[in-house]
């Protein structure tokens, strides 16, 4: 089994601080981490390899320092990691990101399954997985919470929807996105950490994977962030007073009016 995992490096927190004077984001001291939802994707890939044999290749599109994130995935069981980095990729929206990833997948070739996280901490769209599947013209299943079986180039999974679970089967190769319910990611092993230190991380540029630069980066992205602002939270709350009994009494009165 040839398993490809897509990961993204993201700022390590959503508790973004805002400078009250300038009303801008404060980035200082925020460490970059592997997108938490991608840890489940990686773990599932490694588990599938343990079950069915094969190889786990991790790819990420990002700036040169995303190499750190890739090394971390090697300590967690990935065999190989590839960094897709080129100034032509900067400013990519989900369409352009998926396009670049699809070109990398095409170069890797012979993949059986591509696993993405359900969404990222920063962009937070959850669109890259499904868009990627169409660019590769292969089937797609979202929110997978369990891989039941892979057999004869078919995969059977459980996926989560609002109303419950669906059991779905499709052919391989396919793209799946995983929910956090799917597994509990392991911690880095000592051997893995050693391997991560010395592992060679390949860097592929636009030219290496045949990306048409007018379809990548800011030039190739249909969407543009045109404004960023901070939500105003204006609010009047009433803290109820008195003894606990009195407070509950007051609350019950107010409740009766609403319902």
Partner 1 sequence: MVKDSSLPWRERNFEGIDLVEADMGIEIDIEKCTGCGSCVSVCPFGVMELINDKVRIKEGCNLCGACVDECTFEAIKIEKAEQKVSEGYKGVWVFAEQRDGKMKSVAYELVSEGRKLADKLGTELSAICLGHNVEDVEQLICYGADKVYLADDAALSDHQEDLYTELLLDLIKKHRPEILIAGATAMGRSFIPRVAALLYTGLTADCTGLDIDPETKLLLQTRPTFGGNVMATIMCQAKRPQMSTVRPHVFKRGTASKERKGQIIKVDFKKEAVTSRTKLLRFIEDLTEKVKLDEADIIVSGGRGLGKPDNFQIIKALAEVLGAAVGSSRPPVDEGWISYSHQVGQTGKTVCPKLYIACGISGSVQHIAGMGTSECIIAINEDPNAPIFQVATYGIVGDLFKVVPMLTEKLKRSRGTA
Ligand X SMILES: Cc1cc2nc3c(=O)[nH]c(=O)nc-3n(C[C@H](O)[C@H](O)[C@H](O)COP(=O)(O)OP(=O)(O)OC[C@H]3O[C@@H](n4cnc5c(N)ncnc54)[C@H](O)[C@@H]3O)c2cc1C
229 binds partner 1 (CB under 8 A): yes
Binding site for ligand X (CB under 6 A): 6-8, 14, 35, 37-38, 41, 59-62, 92-95, 97, 101, 116-117, 119-129, 223, 225
234 binds partner 1 (CB under 8 A): no
**Angstrom distance (rounded) from CA 63 to CA 87:** 8
Specify the stretch interacting with partner 1 by CB under 8 A; choose among 43-51, 73-81, 197-205, 218-226: 218-226
**Angstrom distance (rounded) from CA 84 to CA 63:** 8
Which residue lies nearer to partner 1 by CB, 56 or 141? 141
Specify the stretch interacting with partner 1 by CB under 8 A; choose among 44-52, 127-135, 187-195, 196-204: 127-135
Least separation in angstroms between residue 165's CB and partner 1 is 4
Residues 1-40 binding partner 1 (CB under 8 A) are 11, 14-16, 18-19, 22, 24-27, 29, 31
Residue span 70-109 as binding mask against partner 1, x where in contact by CB under 8 A, dash where not = -----------------x--xx-xxx--x-----------
Which residue lies nearer to partner 1 by CB, 57 or 133? 133
Evaluate whether 36 touches 146 at the Cβ level (below 8 Å).
Answer: no
Question: How far, rounded to the nearest angstrom, does the alpha carbon of residue 8 sit from its chain's CA centroid?
Answer: 6
Would you put residue 137 in left (φ > 0), alpha (ψ -120 to 50) or beta?
left
Task: Please tell me what DSSP assigns to residue 66.
Answer: G
Residues 157-216 binding partner 1 (CB under 8 A) are 158, 160-171, 180-181, 214
Question: Residue 142 corresponds to which tokens in the numbers above?
Answer: 């979202």
Task: Please tell me what DSSP assigns to residue 13.
Answer: -
Name the residue among 169, 112, 121, 119 with its Cα closest to residue 143: 119
Would you put residue 256 in left (φ > 0), alpha (ψ -120 to 50) or beta?
alpha
What does 38 interact with, of partner 1, ligand X, none (CB < 5 to 8 A by kind)? ligand X
What does 238 interact with, of partner 1, ligand X, none (CB < 5 to 8 A by kind)? partner 1
Cβ neighbours of residue 152 under 8 Å, at least 6 residues apart? none
110 binds partner 1 (CB under 8 A): no
């Amino acid at each position: 089994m040839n398993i490809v995992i897509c990961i993204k490096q993201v700022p390590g927190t959503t508790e973004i601080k805002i400078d009250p004077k300038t009303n801008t984001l404060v980035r200082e001291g925020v460490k970059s981490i592997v997108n938490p939802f991608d840890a489940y994707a990686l773990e599932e890939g490694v588990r599938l390899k343990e079950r069915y044999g094969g190889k786990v290749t991790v790819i990420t599109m990002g700036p040169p320092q995303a190499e750190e994130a890739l090394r971390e995935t090697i300590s967690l069981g990935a065999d190989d990691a590839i960094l897709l980095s080129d100034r032509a990729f900067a400013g990519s929206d989900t369409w352009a990101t998926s396009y670049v990833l699809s070109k990398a997948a095409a170069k890797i070739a012979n993949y059986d399954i591509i696993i993405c996280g359900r969404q990222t901490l920063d962009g937070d769209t959850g669109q890259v997985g499904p868009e990627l599947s169409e660019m590769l013209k292969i089937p797609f299943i979202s929110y997978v919470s369990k891989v039941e079986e892979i057999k004869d180039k078919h995969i059977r999974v459980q996926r989560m929807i609002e109303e419950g679970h669906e059991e779905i089967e499709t052919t391989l190769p396919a793209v799946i996105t995983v929910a956090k319910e799917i597994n509990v990611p392991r911690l880095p092993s000592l051997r893995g950490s050693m391997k991560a230190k010395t592992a060679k991380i390949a860097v592929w540029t636009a030219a290496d994977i045949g990306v048409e630069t007018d379809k990548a980066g800011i030039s190739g992205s249909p969407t543009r962030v045109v404004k960023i602002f901070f939500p105003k939270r204006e609010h009047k709350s009433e803290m109820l007073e008195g003894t606990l009994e009195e407070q509950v009494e007051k609350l019950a009165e107010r409740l009766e009016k609403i319902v």
